[in-house]
Amino acid sequence: MNRFRALVVVLLMVSFKSFACLNGETKILKNGAYVYIDHRGLVPHGHHFSTSEFPEMIKQLDSLYKKTNDIDYLSDKGYVLIVQKKHDEALKLYLNIEKIKPNRYSTASNLGTLYELMGENQKAYNWIKKAIEINPESHNGSEWLHLKILEAKIKNLPNVSGQFLINTNFGTTGVPETKLSKEDIDKLVNEVYFQVNERMSFIEPKDKIISILLFELGNLVQLKGEHENALQIYRTAREYGFDGDLIVARMIISAQGKGEYYRKKTIEFGTKLSILRETKKGIDLDYVYQIETSLIVLSVICILLLAALIVFFLRWRKFKKVISAS
């Protein structure tokens, strides 16, 4: 029975979890120090920076650069300064690195990021473009999207869209639609995830471009059939400012997809239970109890999901009426 209790706990944890685990992508400096450890999975949370260790990191990097004259230590120091929002100091350092050893990818890339954070988007565009020329496959091959984001900022587009940013759209119905192949979807998921996760590390809600990218990432993940992840991404998109009937409709579809998964599991357990009841010889009663309890848990989950979906829909209708009245 202890094993079964553990099973029930796992089911509940899977059903109501809000965040993915850590142990995803990591950033390790030349000296072996960890700058961040990301969440695993397709739901972006931004980098989990080890900020308390940064002062000691900078001391070590300075010391190692003086001992070895290895420019990588100096470049890593610049990255830490960017995360600390010491932009002027980081800019001076990277421009100096460019003089000492020109045409390094990390210098061009970090200068692009730095100039964007400082609001100098044209300079940021030029440096990111140079970084792509040096290493086209960097950042999971996603830097083309970085250029599109900067282009939107430079042009100050009032109605920037997902179509402009990622060169495709997923229709205007509740269910995302696309002509992209599975391989194209997987590739685009990785590219959009990388860019939006980077931006969320430095930019807090609300932000129009991040909200659009999150919405489109949610659409892509929904197309992959990962309803729970899509729902989490849509929620984050709303936190960043994406709103309207379309995202609500897609959140409802995602929630329905999640409910359908548990409905199928309930049927599966129910079928197993029926077979066991019909086969009376050699039945392990403990196993029967396990299945019965699992069936109850899954049924409760389905009911809760349905209730949450109804409440969400009713609140949205009420909110729309208030907006219309005002």
Distance between CA atoms of 83 and 92, rounded to whole angstroms?
Answer: 15
* Model pLDDT for residues 144-199, shown as the tens digit of each residue: 999 999 999 999 998 999 999 999 999 999 999 999 999 999 999 999 999 999 99
User: DSSP alpha helices (H): ranges in the chain?
Assistant: 2-16, 54-68, 71-83, 87-100, 105-117, 121-134, 138-141, 143-155, 162-166, 182-202, 208-223, 227-239, 245-278, 285-325
**Closest by alpha carbon to 255, among 308, 211, 300, 191?**
308
Mention every residue, 6+ apart, whose C-beta is less than 8 A from residue 315. none
pLDDT band at 318 (very low <50, low <70, confident <90, very high): low
Q: Tell me the pTM.
A: 0.75
- What is the distance between the alpha carbons of residues 139 and 90, in angstroms, rounded to a whole number? 21
More confident residue, 320 or 166: 166
pLDDT (tens digit per residue) in 239-296 = 999 999 999 999 998 888 765 555 555 666 566 656 655 665 555 556 555 655 666 6
Q: Is the pLDDT of residue 22 over 60?
A: no
Exposure string (b/e) for 285-302, b if CB count within 10 Å is 16 or more? eeeeebbebbbebbbebb
Question: Domain-by-domain residue ranges, the chain?
Answer: 259-325
For the chain, give the mean pLDDT. Answer: 83
Q: What is the reported pLDDT for 116?
A: 97
Rounded CA separation 120/113 (Å): 10
Q: Looking only at Cα atoms, what is the longest distance across the chain?
A: 82
Nearest alpha carbon to residue 36 among 202, 218, 234: 202
Strand partners, 26: 37
Residue that has been written with the tokens 């999150």 in this structure:
214
